Amino acid sequence: MSRERDYGRRDVLRAGGIVLGGSLVSGSATAQDGEESTTLTLLSYNDIQTAAAEDENFPRLVTLIEQRRAAADGPVVVVGGGDEVGPHALSPVSQWRAPVDVLNEVGPDADVIGNHEFDYGLDPISEVTADSDFPWLATNLVDSETGEAFDGTESHRVVERGGVSVGIIGLVDDGATYGKTNIDFAAEGITLEDYTETGPAQAKRLKEDENVDVVVALAHTGIDDAEQLAEADADDDIDVVVVGDDEQFYPPEEVDGSIVSEARARAAYLSEIELTVADGEVTSWEGELIEVTDDVEKDPTASEIITDYRAEVGLDSVIVESETPLDATFGSNYHRETGYGNLITDAMRERADADVAITNSGGIRSDSTYGPGEITGGDIFNTLPFPNSLVTLELTGEELVEALESQIVTLESETGQDLGEEVSQQTSGVRFEWVPHEDADELVRDVYVGGEPLDPDDTYRVAVNSYMAGGGSGYPLEDKPVVKDTDELLVTLVVDYLRERDTVAPAVEGRMQRVDRDLPDASVTVDGNGKVVAEFEAPDDVESVAADTAALWTADGEHRDAEKVVFDADDETLMVRVDDGDLAETIGEADDGDEVPLDLYVEYESSEYDHVYFERSRLNADVAATVRNRGRGRGRSRGRDRVGAPGR
């Protein structure tokens, strides 16, 4: 995967760099007195992804692996947890070649096929494996006719080292295949077997039929599913589970008789587990995550490989100056509108001459922030590493809303309970409110295209990327009429868009507004004199209001912060005051008597909602502002009937 979010929940439970240990044999922490034992060191990495194209952590990881190999007291086995060959800044131009070339220098004993190994399609997997000097495993992803490993992969690998026999298997779950690729595996003749059944069965076969001493499962499943694998292994045949996919900081820990570990991602850590093996079984272990710091020197060969590939496409050249940060972090782009997301979709909409542009949050990578200051081509390639091209579709207004709704994660859903509510996309040309609660009448509402209310029966030109057009990320777009399908990569059109400008300053413009509760509608008069005051009955769950978050927004994205906000907890009322002159300027030109729709948004502490990502809940009121060009005096609101409150 690469939805790397909220590491903090696990970080507070586990301390990096602390050596942990235990026994996998009940009542035996060490080998029996006089019994010969061997210390086997298992080194593992996972989710190299964007680090593969950067002359930073990846070459340092190569050095660290060699250092730990040299320091080991016994045999060493090196393995990977998948998602090593993409996505990264070189993906659109040289695909898997840079990371594979570097990993060939490492010489791992095996790696597992993860979802990002399929970034280049199914057929190129055989090319990836042919270019690799090590095996790629896919134990539970098999040829539907033969039941054997599909082209280019192996079901398992047995490594004999220092008198210890190690069986290695590779497992994926449906989330890392069907959930995160556009490949119809069944139609391609590939069957995904249940990893909780295939994994333990293969481990038992390796121990009973091939007499291996240790079984290591490379599980590109994420930690939660890896723990389920350990639980399903009733006979404790799997000794170690090396995890990839969810990019967690998870030092080695014993779970249901198996040692489970994940080394975060992007070559930031190396997992090291020392296994004491005696009489064909693991009797004790110690393990830790070792951070890859700047103190570790870069491996010169790995560094040269990466810099040579970068030089071929000029990734280090400056293309624009940004006055604001370009936020490519997962936490931001999955949960809310970002300035960088606006820049990307603005570029898409301009190039396609479309009414609307949408890109999936998962297509914005690197989990880093760039600028303010000089932005290089490599920065943009790093954040848009997939070989996705620009596609323009024709959608009705109703279909556009369905597409937007497909990405809303509600707070009460299974995913929302874990990571909080999400809007999971970035947009241009369209503005809307999203309601992150399962019992809401509408997940997406108050939709405006080009500043005008959306017509559900009208048709709109919508620019998306090719992954989305094929139904990727759950967008219901695979059968929609195509206006234009280009070969132009999304990353190159964004680079071209930036090259045409000396500076950029992308900002949040209120394109996607989260709403937890509704206030009653209100009407106000705006004449440029005095103050505009709106008063509301507050919902029951309001405990306090964050006054500095209150603002009135127009359909064009202009807004004016409130001058004063008063919440009376006893009377359960909320008063918002705005300078009339400022509001008149915000509305802009309007004829006398025109009614301009405004939206009031204000954040509050709720007694009902416990958000994961957001600090507070959010209120909304629809405000009808009547313009009086020559009026004098004070404008005052008139409350309307309460509308249905979503999320109740």
Question: Is 509 part of any domain?
Answer: no
Which pLDDT band holds residue 561 (cuts at 50, 70, 90)? very high
300, 342: one domain: no
Strands 459-465 vs 389-396: parallel, antiparallel or unpaired: antiparallel
Does 445 share its domain with 566? no
**Boundary (domain end) residue, out of 477, 504, 531:** 504
In this predicted structure, the answer to whether residue 628 has a pLDDT above a threshold of 90 is no
What pLDDT is stored for residue 383 in this prediction? 95
Backbone angles phi, psi at 99, to 5 degrees: -65, -35
Pair (546, 432) in one structural domain: no
Q: Which three-class secondary structure state does DSSP give residue 436?
A: coil
The structure tokens listed for 501 are: 């400008």
Residue 282 falls inside a structural domain: no
Mean pLDDT for 475-479 is 96
Distance CA 560, CA 580 (A): 10
Is 381 contained in some domain? yes
- Confidence class for position 21, pLDDT limits 50, 70, 90: low
Single out the residue in 504, 528, 548 at which a domain terminates: 504
Domain check: are 125 and 178 in the same one?
A: yes
What percentage of the chain carries pLDDT values higher than 90?
A: 80
- Are 450 and 590 within one domain? no
pLDDT above 60 for 639: no
Tens-digit pLDDT profile for residues 517-531: 999 999 998 887 788
pLDDT above 70 (res 641): no
Check residue 28 and give its pLDDT: 35
pLDDT digits (tens, 9 = 90+) for 394-419: 999 999 999 999 999 999 998 888 88
**pLDDT surpassing 80 at residue 8:** no
Sign of the dihedral through C-alpha 324, 344, 515, 594: positive
**89, two tokens:** 């800044």
Name the token pair of 19: 């050596």
Same domain, 351 and 251: no
Residue 503 tokens, joined:
């500076």
| Residues 210, 345 within the same domain | no
Per-residue confidence band for 33, with pLDDT thresholds at 50, 70 and 90 = low
Q: What is the dihedral sign for C-alpha 136, 137, 143, 147?
A: positive
pLDDT in tens, 130-150: 999 999 999 999 999 999 999
Convert the pLDDT of each residue in 247-299 to its tens digit.
999 999 999 999 999 999 999 999 999 999 999 999 999 999 999 999 999 99
Residues 302 and 321 in one domain: no
Top pLDDT among 562 and 632 is at 562
CATH number, domain of 413, equals 3.90.780.10
Supply the pLDDT for residue 199.
98
Say which residue, 416 or 549, is predicted with more confidence.
549
Number of domains in the chain: 3
Average pLDDT, the chain: 90
Residue 352 has pLDDT above 80, yes or no: yes
The answer to whether residues 329 and 421 belong to one domain is yes
Containing structural domain, residue 528: 515-639
Same domain? 521 vs 473: no
Residue 556 backbone class (left: φ over 0; alpha: ψ -120 to 50; beta: rest): alpha
Running DSSP on this structure, what letter comes out for residue 32? P
Lowest-pLDDT choice from 210-219, 453-462, 595-604, 626-635 = 626-635
Question: Is the same domain home to 195 and 240?
Answer: yes
